[in-house]
Structure 1
Amino acid sequence: MTATGGEAGAGPWRMGAVPGTAGAGERSGNPRAGPDAWRLNTDPEAVRRDLSRLVLTLVELIRQLVERQCVRRMDQGDLSDEQIETLGLTLMRLEEAMTELCERFGLSPSDLNLDLGPLGTLLPTDTP
């Protein structure tokens, strides 16, 4: 047994029967399986950290998309000088807020760039 209550090498999931199916443990040969066989045993601190990372990653993705859209509109001449100034200040403040939030949760900007396997990373590594 590990500190999280599962078997060594089983990870945070303890698998057996599908929840709510009576007798599935006996049919599958797993005597521990039963209605509550799918349980997530995890550290609350790890959940907080991972959830914070996910939320900040989504906010950073949206921030970068908005920034690229602003640059595109500026290049096309769709924005007035006043709008460009306002958007520039807003994006700078948002980037500062993201930096502060990353520091608060003990994350670096590279921690927000999720690896999507064969697709590469979520966030572009080059800045426009």
Structure 2
Amino acid sequence: MSGVGRELEAALQQKVEPPLRRLSLDEGKLKNGLGQLVLTLVKLLHELLEKQAIRRMEGGSLTDDEMERLGTALMRQAEEIERLRVEFGLSEEDLNLDLGPLGKLF
């Protein structure tokens, strides 16, 4: 084995300690990250509820009163999602998941 080969082998056999790293936790970033995750999931559920409501309306399984209440509830829910999005300083795109080959969620 050449001198370089022995040096390389010796270096590989040495126990290499990774440098100590301190995890820097910025409370603001954690709050926004969690807020983004939660709002993304809430927005996804909202979109699914809207689609289901439209199917029920088109299927004729709701009375006029039920449609009115459902529409009002979905509108208030959308307003609250928007209020929280602004409060967390998130854009609409921040709440949109990229599903790879399936495309964007919204």
Structure 2 gaps of 5+ residues are 1-12
Q: Which residue does 1:119 correspond to in 2?
A: 102
| Structure-2 separation of matches of 1:97 and 1:87 | 15
Instruction: Render the CA deviation track for 1:53-79: whole Å, top value 9, x for unaligned.
Output: 000000000001001000000000010
Aligned length: 94
Q: Which residue does 2:48 correspond to in 1?
A: 65
**So what's the TM-score if we normalise by structure 1?**
0.64
Structure 1 gaps of 5+ residues are 1-26
Amino acid at match of 2:35: S
Relative to structure 1, is the Cα distance of residues 30 and 118 closer, same or farther in structure 2, using a 3 angstrom cutoff? farther
Root mean square deviation of aligned Cα = 2.3
How far residue 108 of structure 1 moved from its aligned partner, in angstroms, is 1.9
Amino acid at match of 1:114: L
More displaced 10-residue stretch of structure 1: 111-120 or 77-86: 111-120
Output aligned runs, 1:19-38, within 5 Å.
Answer: 29-32=15-18
How far residue 100 of structure 1 moved from its aligned partner, in angstroms, is 0.6
Larger radius of gyration: 2
**So what's the TM-score if we normalise by structure 2?**
0.76
| Structure-1 separation of matches of 2:62 and 2:14 | 64
Instruction: Render the CA deviation track for 1:14-58: whole Å, top value 9, x for unaligned.
Output: xxxxxxxxxxxxx8943148xxx8975442221111110000000
